[in-house]
């Protein structure tokens, strides 16, 4: 069972324009609305791949009702906690040049009683056959050690955790030893205190140190350059696949979904790596944060090249 946790979901509004004119009139050619937030994106992609998950987190107000409605329409099981306020809307402005500008709202303020309700819900789902996906930002009112607390809580029940976060959330959670992590290149550089573009070998060294904290699988996404994958006694890299990109938004979430789906299906290391590369490449061809169709993913699987890192 996969449980995705989205603390700070959103309505993702993607608009297409020619070029952003600051202080002037911008005419929109196309608007796309999606139920979003990292964990929700992961659940949508797992569903598109033919898998199942339960989407959990906080929703608020009319926007929250829309998100629940979308998940029900997709027939994705969900168990959200309703809180006061209004779920945020994140606007993504996509220019013809490929430039992306994101305007993210803060979201509702969550009270401690709501946090406790969520922890109780997650503990109820926890078991040896459960993978929790902890992804994305947190709303106001939630402490930055929340992912660490969740990891410690569900590990006691034998559950596994996949972490996809950055900054303090990421650093705090690492001490609890998540089972799988998916940092991108920049997040790894920031974690290591690198104020420059790190080499592949430097990133590899940082990732190896992380594995000493009990992490079993590390996937490092590197945009057009591809990705690196590490497990005990296994370290490989894959060049990025050549696809016609519409937007890179959601590519990282797609890789998290592929990691989760592969775990649930018991796929081999090589099958998991190929799935990650194909799903993330497929995601950049879609509009907004929509997941790639399974037939697109299957066609891309054949293009994945796995190289050993020496």
Mean pLDDT is lowest, of 193-197, 213-217, 274-278, 294-298, for 193-197
* Displacement of CA 297 from its chain's centroid (Å): 18
Say yes or no to pLDDT of 12 above 80. yes
Please write the tens of the pLDDT for every residue from 125-147: 999 999 999 999 999 999 999 99
Between 192 and 150, name the one with better pLDDT: 150
E strand or H helix that includes residue 72 = helix 61-73
Q: In the prediction, which pLDDT does 288 show? A: 65
The CA distance from 286 to 289, in Å, is: 7
Task: Determine the average pLDDT of the residues in 118-124.
Answer: 97
Task: Determine the average pLDDT of the residues in 227-253.
Answer: 86
Q: In the prediction, which pLDDT does 191 show? A: 86
Residues tagged active-site: 253
* Displacement of CA 121 from its chain's centroid (Å): 21
Task: Determine the average pLDDT of the residues in 246-269.
Answer: 90
Between 143 and 286, name the one with better pLDDT: 143
Q: In the prediction, which pLDDT does 245 show? A: 67
Say yes or no to pLDDT of 202 above 80. yes
Q: Which of 273, 270, 279, 284 is nearest to 300 (CA)?
A: 279
Say yes or no to pLDDT of 30 above 80. yes
**What is the three-class DSSP state of 270?**
helix
The CA distance from 70 to 248, in Å, is: 22
Q: What band does 247 get if pLDDT is binned at 50, 70 and 90?
A: low
Q: What band does 33 get if pLDDT is binned at 50, 70 and 90?
A: confident
Handedness of CA 176, 253, 126, 124 (dihedral sign): positive
Tell me the percentage of the chain whose pLDDT exceeds 70.
98
Q: In the prediction, which pLDDT does 51 show? A: 97
Q: What band does 25 get if pLDDT is binned at 50, 70 and 90?
A: very high
The CA distance from 201 to 124, in Å, is: 41
Which of 53-57, 91-95, 181-185, 284-288 is the most confident on average?
A: 53-57
Q: What is the mean pLDDT of the chain?
A: 92
Task: Determine the average pLDDT of the residues in 273-287.
Answer: 92
Please write the tens of the pLDDT for every residue from 61-116: 999 999 999 999 999 999 999 999 999 999 989 898 888 899 988 889 999 999 99
Tell me the percentage of the chain whose pLDDT exceeds 90.
73
Say yes or no to pLDDT of 304 above 90. yes
């Amino acid at each position: 069972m996969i449980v995705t946790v989205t603390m700070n979901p959103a309505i993702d509004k993607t608009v297409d324009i020619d070029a952003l004119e600051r202080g002037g009139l911008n005419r929109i050619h196309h608007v796309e609305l999606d139920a979003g937030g990292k964990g929700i994106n992961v659940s949508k992609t797992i569903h598109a791949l033919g898998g199942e998950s339960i989407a959990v987190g906080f929703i608020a107000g009319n926007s929250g009702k829309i998100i629940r409605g979308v998940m029900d329409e997709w027939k994705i099981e969900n168990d959200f906690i309703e809180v006061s306020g209004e779920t945020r809307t994140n606007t993504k402005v996509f220019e013809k040049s490929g430039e992306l500008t994101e305007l993210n709202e803060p979201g509702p303020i969550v009270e401690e009683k709501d946090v406790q309700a969520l922890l109780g819900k997650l503990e109820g789902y926890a078991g040896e056959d459960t993978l929790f996906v902890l992804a994305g930002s947190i709303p106001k009112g939630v402490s930055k050690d929340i992912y660490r607390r969740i990891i410690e809580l569900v590990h006691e029940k034998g559950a596994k955790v996949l972490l996809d976060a950055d900054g303090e959330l990421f650093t705090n959670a690492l001490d609890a030893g998540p089972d799988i992590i998916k940092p991108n290149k920049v997040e790894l550089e920031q974690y290591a205190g690198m104020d420059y573009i790190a080499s592949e070998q430097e990133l590899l060294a940082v990732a190896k140190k992380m594995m000493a904290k009990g992490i079993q699988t590390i996937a490092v996404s590197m945009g057009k350059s591809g990705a690196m994958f590490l497990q005990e006694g296994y370290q490989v890299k894959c060049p990025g696949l050549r696809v016609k990109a519409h937007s890179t938004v959601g590519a990282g979430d797609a890789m998290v979904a592929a990691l989760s789906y592969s775990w649930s299906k018991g796929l081999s290391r090589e099958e998991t790596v190929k799935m990650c590369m194909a799903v993330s490449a497929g995601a950049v061809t879609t509009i907004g944060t929509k997941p790639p169709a399974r037939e697109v993913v299957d066609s891309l699987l054949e293009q994945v090249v796995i190289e050993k890192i020496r």
